[in-house]
Structures are given as structure tokens and as C-alpha cells.
């Protein structure tokens, strides 16, 4: 079976992302695939799986913002910042109110610095942090050196009861929801851990668009029923639909093509912004105007305000 595109899967709790890839591989045989982003066993929800030439677009999809829904259980802290870890502290939580949680969430919106969980895949001195944690050498890690800046676009309280607060968050790539939960607990004068985590959006795909493994299992012979072609992926790139046959052939052969601004508008249908600053390069998608199919990724360089250089860098056929 030859597949090119993305199947967004609703990853169940208890599996890691690679488990899902292996599950698919066992049912489809030898296919080229990869997943967008990593979800550990506790997390569930949107896991985009790429097939064929779509795997060449993985980096662009990883750059997209993500959304999550998560529960914070107050009054308890664990070494992994979630329910799967060992309890390291217990704190008062009865004083916490919904208003305090709302205020805490508002204070975290914007650009913030996060210290990742020790049980994460970020590398320190060449090794993932979780290797230090599992071998009991977590104290060797200077956590300030692995801190990172992320952007919280929105963070809202969905509900609060029985010491558990439910939040929804929209954030930039690289955001650790567990660190966010711990910070919320600190702000309201308690401590906390993540007891449920669902990724509701990734790579521009919502949870409602995802298919479960159970559904795929029952339709093992027709995975393509849920396949999103690469033309439907949200890549955030300007698109050039080429309607001049000669220009399309030259691009496919990787030739350096210089076009005047007038030629560019005559031979290409442009979708998206165009850089007009001399010397600036931008990555663009190349498509066949007739079929609307992508055939490559290219660099478009503004040589002068009236002249552009186009050269394909990676094929998508």
C-alpha cells in the first residue's frame, strides 16, 4: 500500500507515540512514516502520523501551535509532575478558589520561561533528562540550563471541584503542560500535578478530525479513507501554483530560474505573502496549477524589488 499524506490519530492513554507508529507499521507493512510531536503514556489525543513524501514536511508541522485540555490535582506533587510519578510533597489546597485559579491562569498568558520536567526528552550534555531521572542522577542536571521560553496564547479554567481544576491552553511548540500545572499550583499557594492530559489540536488538526486505533483496526484494508493529502496540510508557507509548463519543468529539474515581478505574476498564481526585501529568501510550496497538486518545496529569493530567483530544494512527488 502506498500512502502519501497524514492520518491524524487519537492516541489512547497508555501508549507512547512510537507505539502508535509501530502499531500502524504492523498493519500496513513496510511503509515510510513518522509522527508529529511526542506524546508519553499519560497523554492522549491528537497525534498526526505522516506517510510517504509527507514525512518531508514534518518540521513545518512541528512548528504549529498546539492546544491541550488538562486536569491539575492540587495538594500533591510528584517527581514527574503527573500522576505516574512518586509523591514528593503534599500541600494544603482547601483555601484555593476558582477565582484564584482564574487569576493564576491569566498571569501565565504571554511569553514565559519554563523549566521542563526531569522526566522529559530534552537533552543535557548529550543525554535525555529522563535518563538522569531513571538512574537516580537528576541532581547532576543544571535545570536552569535547559529552561526555555514559550508562548501561552490562552489559558482558561474550565471547571473546579474535588481539588481538581480543569484547564484549556493554546500554546507554542515546546510548551510543557506539566510545568504549567506545577506553576499554577505554586501561584495559588499550593502544589499540583497533572492527572489528565489531552492534546486537542496539533499540526492544524482538531481532535474531532482524528480516528481511533479501534476504528482503523476495523478498517485495516482502507487506511486511505482517513488520509489527508498533503495539499490539505496547514504548513504556513506561501504557495506558488505554476501555470506555465516550461517554468514547471525547469523547477522540477532544480534549475535556478530568475523571473521578473511581471513574469512571476503572469506565470504563477500566488497564495500567501511575498517577501519584497532585497536579499531575503523564503521557503515556498510549488504546485501544478492544473492539478493543484504539490510537487516541491523551493526557495524564493528577492534579488531586487523587480526580480526573483526560484529554485526547488525538495521534491514532493
Per the annotation, the verdict on 40 as an active-site residue is yes
Assigned C-alpha cell, 189: 499557594
Q: List all residues 6 or more positions away from 164 whose beta carbon is below 8 Å from its beta carbon.
A: 71, 72, 73, 74, 195
What angle separates helix 177-187 from helix 98-107, to the nearest 10 degrees? 120
CB-based contact 39:17 (threshold 8 Å) = yes
Give the whole-angstrom CA distance, residue 226 versus residue 228: 6
Query: What residues have CB less than 8 Å from 92, skipping those under 6 apart?
Result: 75, 189, 190
Catalytic residue among 40, 71, 82, 241: 40
Residue (of 40, 62, 176, 72) closest to 114 by Cα position: 176
52: left (phi over 0), alpha (psi -120 to 50) or beta: left
Rg (CA), the chain: 23
DSSP state of 211: B
Catalytic residues: 40
Amino acid at each position: 500500500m502506498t500512502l502519501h499524506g497524514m492520518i491524524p490519530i487519537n492516541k489512547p492513554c497508555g501508549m507512547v507515540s512510537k507505539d502508535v507508529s509501530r502499531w500502524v507499521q504492523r498493519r500496513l507493512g513496510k511503509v515510510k512514516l513518522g509522527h508529529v510531536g511526542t506524546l508519553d503514556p499519560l497523554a492522549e489525543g491528537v497525534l498526526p502520523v505522516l506517510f510517504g513524501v509527507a514525512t518531508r514536511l514534518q518540521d513545518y508541522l512541528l512548528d504549529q501551535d498546539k492546544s491541550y485540555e488538562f486536569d491539575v490535582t492540587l495538594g500533591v506533587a510528584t517527581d514527574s509532575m503527573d500522576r505516574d510519578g512518586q509523591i514528593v510533597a503534599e500541600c494544603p489546597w482547601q483555601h484555593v478558589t476558582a477565582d484564584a485559579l482564574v487569576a493564576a491562569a491569566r498571569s501565565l498568558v504571554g511569553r514565559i520561561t519554563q523549566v521542563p520536567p526531569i522526566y522529559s526528552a530534552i537533552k543535557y550534555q548529550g543525554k535525555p533528562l529522563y535518563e538522569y531521572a531513571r538512574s537516580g542522577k537528576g541532581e547532576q542536571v543544571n535545570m536552569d540550563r535547559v529552561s526555555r521560553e514559550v508562548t501561552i496564547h490562552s489559558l482558561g479554567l474550565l471547571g473546579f471541584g474535588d481539588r481538581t481544576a480543569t484547564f484549556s491552553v493554546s500554546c507554542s511548540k515546546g510548551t510543557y503542560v506539566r510545568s504549567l500545572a506545577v506553576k499554577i499550583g505554586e501561584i495559588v499557594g499550593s502544589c499540583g500535578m497533572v492527572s489528565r492530559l489531552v492534546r486537542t489540536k496539533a499540526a492544524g488538526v482538531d481532535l474531532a478530525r482524528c480516528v481511533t486505533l479501534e476504528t482503523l483496526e476495523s478498517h485495516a484494508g482502507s487506511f486511505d479513507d482517513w488520509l489527508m493529502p498533503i495539499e490539505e496540510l496547514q504548513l504556513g508557507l506561501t504557495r506558488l501554483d505554476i501555470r506555465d509548463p516550461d517554468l514547471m519543468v525547469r523547477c522540477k529539474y532544480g534549475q535556478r530560474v530568475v523571473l521578473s515581478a511581471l513574469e512571476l505574476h503572469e506565470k504563477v498564481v500566488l497564495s500567501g505573502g511575498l517577501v519584497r526585501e532585497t536579499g531575503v529568501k523564503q521557503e515556498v510550496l510549488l504546485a501544478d496549477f492544473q492539478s493543484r497538486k504539490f510537487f516541491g518545496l523551493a526557495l524564493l529569493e528577492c534579488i531586487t524589488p523587480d526580480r526573483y530567483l526560484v529554485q526547488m530544494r525538495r521534491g514532493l512527488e
